[in-house]
Amino acid sequence: MPKVAATLPYFDFFPELKAEFETAYPGTKFAQPGPMMQGDALVEFLEGAEVAVIGLNRFTDEVCAALPDLKIVSLCSAGVDHIDPAILNKYGIKMWWTAGINKISVSELAVCYMVFIIRRVHFFASVLKASQWKGPMGFGGDLRGRTVGIHGVGNIGKEVVKLLQPYGVQILACDREDYSDFYGQFDNVEKVEPDELWARSDVLTIHLSKNSSTIGMYTGEVMDKMKPGSILINAARGNLVDEDALAERLKSGHIAGAGFDVFAVEPANDNPLIGLDNFFASPHIGATTLESWAAMLASGIHGIKNAYVPEPGVFPFD
């Protein structure tokens, strides 16, 4: 029986799942609530463990070198941008990961943001909270009838397409992969290239993986190509959008509003974007539902017996 350690403190929220875990792997060591362990703290917690069931912990060269017993890293996270497959291979460590495991929760949040931002719910709620409701405060708008661009039509992007069907919108779908078979199921989905996506979208939602081809993709120059008065949503990953450039365009009104669940630096408590009236923010809650976390934790347990050798340059490491 392998020695197992779980580095994320969420199993206590799912007692039945934790009991199953402990029955299958007696003596499993569980992390207590606190900051995400990295570096020396991670090494200390995992000392002697052969299996690590993890969240967003980073397994650097130094960490792996200090954990000679470690053979398996099983991810509960929905992304893998914190994992370097070359380092794992160097130390003979296998991994497990389930793509799209939180797709329902993230796609629902993205569509929720579309409605919230167009209706200016964040602004109106702040007025009421400050006891400043004294009369007409302007207008929001309807999502119906608008053009929604989806940049990244993988697991989450496809769910966004499905959820938008009752809203009566035109959808522009942009991805480096050819998902024509999927698009063909709908009368309101049009496949476009990035420049057309930016120019025509009233609402643009990002659902790209974070990798060498997407980090920093949304520069000021790209945002200048976006339709004036459009809305930008990012519930994917931080560092895909130049936040300083976005702030400038929110202030100028070129981008009418934005909603972000992810940031370049997290926690993002001091991010200046958050103070803007036309910016709606949440603290990386895309997958923070009971349903998503139950699925992700169960996947982490499943991966102990099903881990594989990761291949650099092969999805999702591209």
User: DSSP string covering the chain, please?
Assistant: ---EEE-STTGGG-HHHHHHHHHHSTT-EEPPSSSPP-HHHHHHHHTT-SEEEESS----HHHHHT-TT--EEEE-SS--TT--HHHHHHTT-EEE--TTTTHHHHHHHHHHHHHHHHTTHHHHHHHHHTT---S-------STT-EEEEE--SHHHHHHHHHHGGGT-EEEEE-SS--HHHHTT-TTEEE--HHHHHHH-SEEEE----STTTTT-B-HHHHHHSPTTEEEEE-S-TTSB-HHHHHHHHHHTSEEEEEES--SSSS-TT-GGGGSTTEEE-SS-TT-SHHHHHHHHHHHHHHHHH-B---TTSTT--
pLDDT of res. 211: 87
Listed by start position, the domains of the chain span 4-101+289-306, 103-281
Q: What is the pTM of this model?
A: 0.92
Two structure tokens written together for 277:
């009236």
Please say whether the beta carbons of 249 and 223 come within 8 A.
yes
Reported as a single tens digit per residue, the pLDDT across 207-252 is 999 988 899 999 999 999 999 999 999 999 999 999 999 999 999 9
Burial of 53 (0-12, 13-18, 19+ CB in 10 A): buried
Please say whether the beta carbons of 70 and 54 come within 8 A.
no
pLDDT of res. 262: 97
Q: What is the C-alpha to C-alpha distance for residues 1 and 7, in angstroms, rounded to an integer?
A: 19
Reported as a single tens digit per residue, the pLDDT across 287-306 is 999 999 999 999 999 999 99
Task: Show the low-confidence residues of the chain (pLDDT under 50).
Answer: none
pLDDT of res. 176: 93
- Enter the CATH code of domain 4-101+289-306: 3.40.50.720
pLDDT of res. 137: 86
Fold of 103-281: Rossmann fold (3.40.50)
pLDDT of res. 318: 77
pLDDT of res. 11: 96
Please report where in the chains the tokens 């007692």 appear, as a residue.
Answer: 15
Catalytic positions, written as ranges: 237, 266, 284
